[in-house]
Structure 1
């Protein structure tokens, strides 16, 4: 009798516009009940998944690594590249930054918020107008720093539970 290897199935998650790889990996893992280690095993990337969720892209993910990830998450490699910082642009690994106004419009962490060149948010507020708001790096209610976006399951502060939507009134124009 021939033994057939059973292929695991995974729920596919569509990336959101401008979403960071960290946030996407967290959403994918939660939808499929995976830990960073479990996703690392599934992709044969080991600890790279946990590093990427913390914005540790040194060394940068190779094309081969992104291809392995693309097979498992069901996303085109070029789409995954868009979730990374552009080549030659520095990243702020800490503190994690947030535009609560943008998050309210599209609930995801944007890669642009972590770029060193980003001074504030210039996300689309209403069709033709852009808002120019400072980014938050801690909860305005309790002062807790934001966790890595891979852990953002509910869109609120993990210490006091103030929602990101409630934080919009604390953002200042720059």
Structure 2
């Protein structure tokens, strides 16, 4: 009997409006039961996926890298580019920040929350959170957010909006 090469198939995952690259990569990997290394190998990108999930964009992904990833995941390279910080915009790698009110409306991490210039949410006029208001645990990288809640005490990100302070 002869072995047959079977092409792997993947579930499609559509990016959400304003979603960060880290959060999208995590959602895609979970839907397809892939590790960062596994996705990196499929796209011929080595360890780049794990680096990008941690907001390490220095150097930023090249057009060629984005197109290789786009081919594997079925999302256009231009759409992937939109999930990255614009050129010249400084990023905070840590702490990971969020607006609970935004998350309640659209359950994803927004790339704009990690901009160095961001201190609050422009939509809700609330300060961004960098830790759970209940147990004080720092937020994990968005690629690991699968329940929409603190990974220590399980308070939902939407509930956290009640603890956010207004921007003065």
TM exceeding 0.5: yes
Q: 1:73 Cα deviation (Å)?
A: 1.0
Between the aligned partners of 2:160 and 2:138, the Cα distance in structure 1 is 13
- Structure 2: stretches of 5+ with no match in the other structure: none
Between the aligned partners of 1:100 and 1:89, the Cα distance in structure 2 is 23
| 1:26 is the counterpart of 2:19 | no
| 1:77 is the counterpart of 2:70 | no
Q: How many residue pairs are counted as aligned between the two chains?
A: 167
Alignment of 1:12-51 (within 5 A): 12-51=12-51
- Structure 1: stretches of 5+ with no match in the other structure: 124-130
| 1:170 is the counterpart of 2:158 | no
Moved over 4 A (4+): 1-4
Deviations 1:124-144 (A, max 9, x none): xxxxxxx21100000000100
2:129 to 116, 132, 136: 136
Q: 1:19 Cα deviation (Å)?
A: 0.1
Alignment of 1:1-174 (within 5 A): 5-123=5-123, 131-174=124-167
RMSD value, Cα: 1.3
Q: 1:119 Cα deviation (Å)?
A: 2.0
TM-score, L = length of structure 1: 0.93
